Amino acid sequence: MDFIRGEIIAIDKPYRMSSFGALAHIRYLLSHHVGQKVKVGHAGTLDPLATGVLILCTGRCTKQIETLQNHTKEYTATLQLGATTDSYDMEHPVNKTFPWKHITREKVEETLKQFVGDIDQVPPTYSACKIEGKRAYKMRRDGEQVELKPKHIHIDSITLTSFDADKGQFAIDVVCGKGTYIRALARDIGRALDSGAYLTSLRRTRVGDITIDDCASFDHFEEWLEQNDKHNDGE
């Protein structure tokens, strides 16, 4: 593989690491491997608490980032009912609790249908969205008020994969288009169920035709590079 000229690779981003942090580490390993600095960009940010498919483009392939960002994505997510957090996930502590014992599996399945198709979604204020050039999450951390406008998004499908009535937790599989925030989807599902909800886990399992099975291990990326060299040498 010619990383200087340009390659598209995918890694499985670890939990509690930013997409930029993951990119910086892989860029360091690639640059050390080829003996010179490698240009690297990523096609679609994953939250620090999310794991899964993160596509990295090197060299001239960085020009394909915008196209790759438009590809359909698939996620698996677990939601906790009866509470909310400022970030709609576990990055922040619970800020409010709600009744949830009235929620049944059937009610969840019926409610999920209203989020399939073309919908408007207000992005999380703890996000990289910009307001007059400033990142929304930085404004929130500085104590500023943040109001974001709804964005048009498309969700192909939402499938309920498990429901735990005792814990008030359920899991979904989401296939969606560019710009969809699964955290915001959790917030809106909670409201639609006359309760609250936030993400307890999120994993991106597919971007376009690239799945988790196609990803290189982040923790064993050096070994992946060595195996790739052996393969190219015909061993």
Residue 216 bridge partners (DSSP):
11
Locate 114 and state its tokens: 């209203």
47 catalytic per annotation: yes
Could you tell me the CA-to-CA distances from 128 to 140, 160, 208 in Å, in that order? Answer: 11, 28, 23
Q: Which residue has the tokens 């196209």?
A: 67
Could you tell me the CA-to-CA distances from 216 to 20, 53, 108, 223 in Å, in that order? Answer: 17, 9, 35, 10
Which residue in the list 12, 47, 89, 188 is annotated as catalytic?
A: 47
CA distance 30 to 57: 12
Residue 16's H or E segment, with its range, is none
Q: At 213, is the secondary structure helix, strand, or coil?
A: helix
Residues whose CB is less than 8 angstroms from the CB of residue 46 and which lie 6 or more positions away in sequence, other chains included: 13, 19, 52, 54, 204
CA distance 32 to 9: 17
Q: Looking at the annotation, which residues are catalytic?
A: 47
